[in-house]
Amino acid sequence: MRRVGAAGYPVWLLCLFVGMLALGTDEFVISGILPDVARDLEVTPGTAGLLVTAFAIAFAAGAPMLAFLTDRLNKKSVLTGALVIFAVANAAVAVSDEFTLTLLLRVVAGLAAAAVSPTCMVIAGMAAPDGESGRYLAVVTAGLTVALFTGVPFGAFLGDALTWRATFVLIALVGVLVAVLSALWRFHCSARSGSRSQSLAPPSVRLPPPTAHTRPPQRLRRSQLLKGASWFPIVTRRGSSGLSRALPMSG
């Protein structure tokens, strides 16, 4: 019998949502705690902003590549392993005192997130009941959006109340929690040709070739790229502007 969580969605889908929420929080949260990070690592605000850039580039560049490389692997194993790497990288960021090491760890976390994100999409799409793929995918992708107005502000609040390192400890704990749940939970893919279900073992599903009706419009893809690219300078600038108020200006 399928366990059902909030709003009638299965619990495993809500776990995927929380995992995507952790990814989104990790991607943007540094912008809110940038003054403390720059001060603690003894770098300038602009240099500390590279921590946002490193994660974002690794996430964006790694997602299509890792999706291709892990296409034939067990999705459950990929998700669990990537979440563990994601959690370890964030835990290491929480104890790192060197900027170069922190930058490298942000790249590792971004690559792990790049493996988690498409895997969550595949699981949600394949395990959804007939006719529910759109809704299930919307729940998973909502995790990134919700992170902007819940995870990021809460992470910034936690960093201000305790320390910026506590924010990354929390992200690491969430990653571990979702990894454990994904390892214990048994996802199933609906067999479209019958009433049987097949486990998310290495998939042999072959999608039909794209047609003119299934290809995303080029303008939509370009607009999404421009929107995403324009967002990072804004959030990073807002974080660095707090540093100018927190630290005395020299000269």
Q: What is the DSSP string of 146-214?
A: HIIIIIHHHHHHHHHHS-HHHHHHHHHHHHHHHHHHHHHS--EEE-TTSS-EEESSS----PPPP-TTT
> Which residues lie across from 37 on neighbouring strands?
none
Q: Is a pLDDT exceeding 70 seen at residue 92?
A: yes
Confidence category of residue 249, pLDDT binned at 50, 70, 90 = very low
Domain membership of residue 207 (yes or no) is: no
**pLDDT (0 to 100) of residue 23:** 87
CATH number for position 28: 1.20.1250.20
Domain that includes residue 99, residue range: 6-194+214-239
In a domain, 244, yes or no: no
**Residues 6+ positions from 33 with CB-CB distance below 8 Å:** 155, 156, 159, 160, 164, 167, 239
Residue 251 included in any domain = no
Q: Over 50: is that where the pLDDT of 12 sits?
A: yes
Residue with the larger pLDDT of the pair 217 and 76: 76
Q: Could you tell me if residue 206 is inside a domain?
A: no
- Confirm whether 223 is domain-assigned: yes
How confident is residue 93, by pLDDT bands cut at 50, 70 and 90? very high
- What is the per-residue pLDDT for 213? 52
Of 57-71, 165-179, 218-232, least confident by mean pLDDT is: 218-232
Count structural domains, the chain.
1
